[in-house]
Structure 1
């Protein structure tokens, strides 16, 4: 009798419950490799096991219990085990069950291990439009992690912010988020290369967002201490920071710094061209407008 003839739905469910979906997946793949040509889609069995374990997690309230148990005062080993369990549960469940919960947990508990693990999890899940209002509300917390967290947390939050920056509906909220006066200290050449690279990717995506006609068609009003003013305002010292990174010892940082400088130049040219076209169209039919255009204003 062939191996797969012995594998019934009941056996699969028992194996998934006892050993876990990951172990069963490995066994199924190995059986598929070793078995004769007859092959009734072994991956379907693994999918059934994962779906069963997912439903078991949902029914048992395991994830809710883990979230309630998590506390910054726990020792490192206990905390890491809880974070691992939370990650496993979220991946097994529909990722829209608890995505907002993870967002709130990362934003409300100040703990570097939690930030790194939670953000790594968020970076591996798709971002749904219905979470945008919550993301906007929690934006200051993510920006605070970027400025005050350790390197591991900063790298993960930059990846997350880089994803958010590609969403047109979130771009202004990122730009208008208040930052510390010394925000540009993040661009110091002495900082780790992976941090600088992710930081430059984030800034490049902000530049790309500013270049879109949809974003340029609105006259946005930014707070004085906003990220936009620090990076792109008239008094910004970002250009000086970028020049110091062109000679960074890591090549990927050099290349990314050059990309940002190019995008900044395109931003400046795009803004000037847009303003010129807007002014010409808006004022062309009025006497005041004609006088301003003729005078070179």
Structure 2
């Protein structure tokens, strides 16, 4: 499905909306970085029209328009990349909060790994307002599915966003009750890239801390059998075995983060001041250092 079909089907009025800008920028940046040839004329023309429309409604100073128009002239690869970078910064500044809702809809509707990477990177760089939480709940299954794809870059961006959301009290249950594949713990295999392992371990630590907090434990939550909660913290979970294997991982930051997850599992927040419940802390770090 091409982007125009998508916008028409969703009833997006004009290309001046955030999702349109993101998608066009994503395509333009991709073309500018991956090719030394000139950007297809349709992209800068469409983006210029977007800028003109925005300026007509008094929403920008004209800087974006000038940058976009400069794409019409012949540029070398470096200059073109710098212009595209400046355009992206302008879009960030112009609509920091409208973008989040539209990008969430885009990444959960168009199944394209490069689009997922671009959209998730943007979301990870923007403040997510509270009014976006209902939409976040709706796209949570898509975020979890992206985390379980075979695109490392998309997985890293998805788990970073989920780690951030796991710190929101009103979203924690939605994340933990999200359905995952039966092989979800393969994300914790030592053979995974260190960058991904580190991020999923941070995610696990934040989930563990969140579910151990007095605020969360005040409610008797019910989880489905295929939920993330059961995969990580259920009676049949093999997470502990995976964590022990990662304590001797070649990369130190993975070792340390695996130890942090182990400690968080054994030190509930409301008992964190009792040394006897956290006796494994030093031994875990010693084992990691010894490796």
Bin of the TM-score, shorter chain as denominator length: 0.5 to 0.7
The equivalent residue for 1:105 is 106
Looking at structure 1, the residues matched to 92 and 29 of structure 2 have their Cα atoms a distance apart, in angstroms, of 25
| TM-superposed deviation, 1:257 | 0.3
Q: Are 1:77 and 2:31 an aligned pair?
A: yes
2:24 paired with 1:61: no
Say whether the 8 Å CA contact 1:70–1:79 is kept in structure 2.
no
Q: Look up the match of 2:118.
A: 117
Aligned alpha-carbon RMSD (Å): 3.1
Q: Which runs of 5+ in 1 are unaligned?
A: 1-58, 274-297
CA distance in 1, matches of 2:150, 2:159: 11
The question of whether the paired residues in 2 share the 8 Å contact of 1:146 and 1:154 is answered with yes
CA contact (8 A) 2:163 2:203 kept: yes
Q: Is the 8 A contact 2:214 2:269 kept in 1?
A: no
Report the counterpart of residue 189 of structure 2 in structure 1: 188
Work out the CA distance in 1 between the residues paired with 2:266 and 2:158: 26
Deviation at 1:92, TM superposition (A): 2.5
Which of 61-70 and 187-196 deviates more? 61-70
The 1:194/1:60 distance shift into structure 2, 3 A limit, reads: closer
> How far apart, in 1, do the equivalents of 2:19 and 2:104 lie?
14
**Conserved in 1, the CA contact under 8 Å of 2:25 and 2:88?**
no
Give, in whole Å, the separation in 1 of the partners of 2:269 and 2:195: 28
C-alpha distance in structure 2 between counterparts of 1:68 and 1:259, whole Å: 38
Q: Is the 8 A contact 1:71 1:79 kept in 2?
A: no
Q: Return the alpha-carbon distance in structure 1 between the equivalents of residues 31 and 23 of structure 2.
A: 17
User: Which residue pairs with 2:228 in the alignment?
Assistant: 227
| Residues 238/92 of structure 1: CA separation in 2 closer, same or farther (3 Å cut) | same
Normalised by the length of structure 2, the TM-score is: 0.66
Equivalences for residues 137-148 of structure 1 within 5 A: 137-148=138-149
Q: Between Structure 1 and Structure 2, which shows a larger proportion of helix residues?
A: 1
For 2:89 and 2:150, locate their aligned partners in 1 and report how far apart those are by CA, in whole Å: 25
Aligned partners of 2:238 and 2:168: how far apart in 1?
A: 26
Residues 123 and 191 of structure 1: CA distance in aligned 2, closer, same or farther (over 3 Å) = same
The Cα shift of 1:126 comes to 0.8
Gaps of 5+ in 2: 1-13, 48-83, 275-291
Q: CA 1:265–1:178 in structure 2 vs 1: closer, same or farther (change >3 Å)?
A: same
Shift of 1:98: 2.0
**C-alpha separation in 2, matches of 1:215 and 1:252:** 29
The alignment of Structure 1 onto Structure 2 pairs a total of residues equal to 212
Deviation, 1:110, is: 1.2
Cα shift at 1:266? 1.7
| C-alpha displacement of 1:93 | 1.4
Quick one: structure 1 residues 149 and 130, their matched pair in 2 at CA, closer, same or farther if it must change by over 3 Å? Answer: farther
Tell me the residue number matched to 1:280: none
* Counterpart residue number, 1:217: 218
The structure that has the greater radius of gyration is 1
Instruction: Note the C-alpha offset of 1:268.
Output: 10
8 Å CA contact 1:231–1:237 kept in 2: the answer is: yes
Q: Is the 8 A contact 2:22 2:119 kept in 1?
A: no
Aligned to 2:251: 250
Counterpart in the other structure of 2:265 = 264
Aligned to 2:131: 130
Residue aligning to 1:173: 174
Q: In the superposition, relative to structure 1, how do residues 89 and 238 fare at CA in structure 2: closer, same or farther (>3 Å)?
A: same
CA positional deviation for 1:61 = 2.7
Name the SS for the 2:148 alignment partner: helix
